[in-house]
């Protein structure tokens, strides 16, 4: 979040906000200074947007993957390189260590490899539990016997045993995931597990909405998807209840500006904020607002 105090006006810009603890960082705290103007995201601001607990999300995610591994299949997990990749990797590692999930190779591809290094270098920003683990192990939490960085994609797709690929990009608009889709995605024994918000118009959204004859963005190739497609709500965004909770915690608030959300979700959130007696505005793209 960014807090600005200028000419007697106090402005808070949330960016992506989440009140829930994750495996890497703590949720946003509500001990905020007084604010006149709040600019807040609304990704999950819709009335039907209710996130399940992270524990439930992780359990279903792991159980679904275990079923595929038991049947000899492979799992493709498209992720955002920053944040989501690390959450997913730590979830998989923890459940393999505990024996809940079979120990199969986890191949990491794309920008994740570089971002993992940043997490390790700047470990002091992480949750205390993870900081302590890094200090105790004296190495990266992603440096693990089950985890291997991909050097040659062709060698990976030729492996006949079960494995998991964690790769970018999260919405399947580019990156190594497009190469893996042509191999893992075309076998009905396999699973594609989406783990993040899928914006309208993206390949990830098309898969989530049930489309199975897809066109790859980079090459224009048509691929028929036979693999199962599932979604795990590893969200880095607060749902409507927590967005309203955050807004209600702010003192002296004069006006709320809604950004970063689909129109129907922003309208739902706008009505809820208006019911609380607050002034709320949805600026259009590129609009200049004078305070």
Q: What is the pLDDT of residues 12-61, one digit of tens each?
A: 999 999 999 999 999 998 988 999 999 999 999 999 999 999 999 999 99
Fold of 54-231: Rossmann fold (3.40.50)
Q: Please, what is the end-to-end C-alpha distance for the chain in angstroms? A: 19
Residue with tokens 């949750």: 127
Beta-ladder partners of 214: 223
Query: Could you tell me if 87 and 141 are in contact, meaning their C-beta atoms sit under 8 angstroms apart?
Result: no
What was the pLDDT predicted at 137?
84
pLDDT in the model for residue 218: 80
DSSP state of 210: T
Q: How far apart are CA 227 and CA 190, in angstroms?
A: 5
Closest CA to 233 of 62, 77, 58, 95: 58
The CATH code that applies to domain 2-50+236-281 is 3.60.15.10
Residue 151 buriedness (CB in 10 A; 0-12 / 13-18 / 19+)? exposed
Query: Which pLDDT score is estimated for 117?
Result: 94
The closest of 164, 52, 56 to 107, measured between CA atoms, is: 164
Per-run averaged pLDDT (10 residues), the chain, 291 residues: 94 95 93 95 96 96 98 98 97 97 97 95 93 89 94 92 98 96 96 95 97 92 97 95 96 97 97 97 94 88
Neighbours of 267 (CB within 10 A): 17
CA distance 170 to 3: 29
Q: Model-level pTM?
A: 0.91
pLDDT of residue 133: 87
The span from the CA of 277 to the CA of 220, in Å, is 50
Q: What are the CA-CA distances from residue 248 to residues 1, 17, 32 (Å)?
A: 17, 15, 11
62 and 95 in contact (C-beta within 8 Å)?
yes
- The Cα 81–Cα 79 span in angstroms is 6
Is the peptide bond prior to 169 cis by the omega test (within 30 degrees of 0)? yes
- Reading the block at residue 206, the tokens are 């098309």
> What pLDDT is stored for residue 13 in this prediction?
97
Going from N- to C-terminal start, the domains of the chain cover 2-50+236-281, 54-231
């Amino acid at each position: 979040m960014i807090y600005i105090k200028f000419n007697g006006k106090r402005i808070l810009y949330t960016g992506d906000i989440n009140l829930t603890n994750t495996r890497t960082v703590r949720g946003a705290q509500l001990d905020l200074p007084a604010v006149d103007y709040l600019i807040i995201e609304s990704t999950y601001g819709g009335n039907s947007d209710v996130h399940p607990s992270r524990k439930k999300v992780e359990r279903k995610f792991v159980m679904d993957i275990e079923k595929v591994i038991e049947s000899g299949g492979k799992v493709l997990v498209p992720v955002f390189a920053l944040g989501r990749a690390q959450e997913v990797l730590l979830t998989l590692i923890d459940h393999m260590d505990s024996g809940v999930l079979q120990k199969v190779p986890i191949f990491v591809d794309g920008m994740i490899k570089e971002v993992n290094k940043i997490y390790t270098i700047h470990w002091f920003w992480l949750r205390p539990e993870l900081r302590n683990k890094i200090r105790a192990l004296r190495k990266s939490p992603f440096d693990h016997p089950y985890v291997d960085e991909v050097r040659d994609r062709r060698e990976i797709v030729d492996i006949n045993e079960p494995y998991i690929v964690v790769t970018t990009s999260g919405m399947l608009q580019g990156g190594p995931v497009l190469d893996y889709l042509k191999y893992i995605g075309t076998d009905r024994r396999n699973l594609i597990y989406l783990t993040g918000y899928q914006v309208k118009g993206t390949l990830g959204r098309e898969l989530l909405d049930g489309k199975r004859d897809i066109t790859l963005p980079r090459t224009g190739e048509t691929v028929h998807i036979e693999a199962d497609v599932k979604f795990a709500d590893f969200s880095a965004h607060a749902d409507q209840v927590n967005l309203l909770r955050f807004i209600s915690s702010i003192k002296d608030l004069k006006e709320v500006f809604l950004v970063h959300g689909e129109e129907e979700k922003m309208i739902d959130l706008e009505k809820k904020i208006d019911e609380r007696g607050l002034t709320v505005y949805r600026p259009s793209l590129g609009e200049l607002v004078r305070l």
